[in-house]
Amino acid sequence: MKLAELIIRIIKSDSKWRVVSTTATLTRAIPFDLEAVLPPIGSAVTARDAAWLTLDFWIDDKPKPRVGVFWRSNPVRDRARRNIVLKALLETGGTNFEYKGKSGAWSEINKPAFSGITVSDAWWPAGQQPDLQAAQSEVRAQLQRWNGYMPRIIRTAAVASKAGLIRDVRESNEF
């Protein structure tokens, strides 16, 4: 089994997540409950309109092999509405969303990435094949990690999607 196939299989085995799209090097996933509250503003022809914010597993085998895991805002039809949701996720505590680039630059980028980490250093040495058993454990651990943040992420996204104002997210009684 190849690493990409393993990642897809693990995501599909978690009842809280679904695979949005795949290539040989990228698998995009979204929790069902998050997709249910995001505004339907995505513009990808291959994904549902509300599946514009995905947890991505990216396989990069050159120059040093690695697997990166990060949230990606994919192209949307309404950037202002997207930015309201993303700003709420970044500014509301407990979501674990962070942007590592220049402050505020994410709002001008077509496909900004958040909370990225490389997860494969211990199990994919340079010049070797990845340890698929360790990779399986890591993918499961990443899904579980984000499952732990998901109640806060979902509440924040839901309030931001409905209210349209970050102030409303902070003052909401839903938290």
Ordered by start, the domain boundaries in the chain are 3-170
Pairwise CA distance, residues 117 & 149, whole Å: 16
Please tell me whether residue 39 adopts helix, strand or coil conformation: coil
Please tell me whether residue 135 adopts helix, strand or coil conformation: helix
Q: One digit per residue, pLDDT tens: the chain, 175 residues?
A: 799 999 999 999 999 999 999 999 999 999 999 999 999 999 998 899 999 999 999 999 888 899 999 999 999 999 999 999 999 999 999 999 999 999 889 999 999 999 999 999 999 999 899 999 999 999 999 999 999 999 999 999 999 988 654 444 444 444 4
β-pairing, 26-31 vs 17-22, is antiparallel
pTM, full prediction: 0.91
Q: For every residue of 43-101, which 3-state class applies, written as one string?
A: CCCCCCCCCCEEEEEEEECCCCCEEEEEEEECCECCHHHHHHHHHHHHHCCCCCCCCCC
